[in-house]
Structure 1
């Protein structure tokens, strides 16, 4: 009897197991390459490469881009932009003072003419028409005079910046328009900044009107600099052709691209964050690089209450290190844990969450869940990067870092 029972069990097992021919049948629907499963998905899982591609595309949308900028070769960022970034952001890119910048974008452009003359042209094609020009500045580096002040009577010169006009379009005899003018010490050296917002706004309205800028330097006596050899040695500005890149003429735009911070009060904070579906290959909560910044380490064993945990976004792993200058990555953090009844003060619960917790604990209504652990304070980050034209851009992105977590 025992032998019969064993044989019966073996037969049942063999019948339940699909035959090798059945398993290898290329036309069987369970086969990954069956026509009904054209993408080779097994057990309904998606292709990892497709998931990664869709995730990166979504992350680009978060940063306001359709495609990552293409940067060829090694470029150097202007020192002004590096200093500005270090002023507004900490080592992880988190904004130090959200009120420091008037807008949320700063763009820098090098002179395209690279002329030895005091004429400059800047290509602004990468600036969106939706961006509001708040301030535009022309940065010129004044080099040290080549003549001694003891041999001339000039201690100041008047420097004027003009917008070059199209006389046909303007139907005027004037070929230039004064934008800014002031006195500059002859003996000084370093950067001189002139506000030219009016010209840039007109260029954004009509890009064909962008004919460049012209700088005129005059002595206090009225004569233009450039009339004689000694005058050109008296006051000179660095040109893009004969001087190092760190001293090249530069246009700096402070703009607002129209994005606004979405208040936690006015949005559904229970929605998944834009980064929630990104592959773990470039988003990690256990990276050694962020071990120092874990302010609420997870306790071993058992569920934890609502706490903030690290979530490092690594731009190098994503493949963006070629165009992002700083930071190399940032800690977005995420909220995880339970919101058990009763909610303590350390859980930063809202009154609504407290009431919901009570209803859930007393089972007064069916379908009322316990409050969720979500961010209740969000910080912005700053990116310093090269755009498609290899200009350097500083952009501030709101609501990118979970500053603290609470039960809501």
Structure 2
């Protein structure tokens, strides 16, 4: 017959183990998601296991011990990833152990290659396009009429290839609203230079110039830092209004410098490297205050706003539901963080959002822990950054996943329950 013994064993089982087994997520995915969501405490459950042993049950005992070791190892892994933040996520994405040692002098005379800038702008425009498609019936919601400026700008200075425009933004953005798009309109006037009818034989024809728009951050010490917000080619010998997307600049200003006017810089450059293309680009002229009638053709800023009370995204926090699980604004300023102010070139910052509020709890949770308000959908963010390779510093562009919270939901054992 043999001898039988019934034993009860208590095992601490962390709830996230089920998540790893059910979803098949890798350690890297867990780390990325937790870096965005923030830290959450893990409530391990006590699992009571009834084991009936027949002596000598040596093989069963060995299997049982191996299972215990595996559970302990898994619990250690889950716990290790609990307190990661965005810094760890960025480093992991880049395959780095520590933040690159970038100093202020490394970026003061930094020249961004045209192909890097174009790659970043392409990714940024795709990012804006995805964001706008997620808005409800955008065409019927946007406020503002093209050509009828909300805000008129004033030129701070102007020369052949550089112009700075200032906009008084005080009380321009309504309360409880979001700027979904901002459009800078510049009037391109006829060039006073003699038009080249015959191109030089030694040069390829040049028909366009590159116009880039930068947001200017005025620092407390009086110096400035710029951030690229739009860049595109425009025909050299045209006349009329040219529009640029400066949504990102308005978002920067609204989160960092609301008490001061917003400054934008206009850079006019050749469509390709070389002195001939740069010389041809000087044919592009925008209306300045030196015009006889400085009302006609002054720079204009058109704001398209969304009333959040009427059209707020599903699950966004407001005065009625701020205590329950919702998504609230959370702006991350890369220029204000000591470890990103020189390492991250673009963007200067971004609206990351975050999940906040409580969730209703079931009367019985069967040891799975509390339902928590966590990220259920996220979006990537294009970033231009510096990376050191030996003695050289290079500029690279990549899209980093899980940087923007799109939607929050109450979860139980990381299973979304809306």
Question: TM-score higher than 0.5 here?
Answer: no
Q: Computing the radius of gyration over CA atoms, which structure comes out larger, 1 or 2?
A: 1
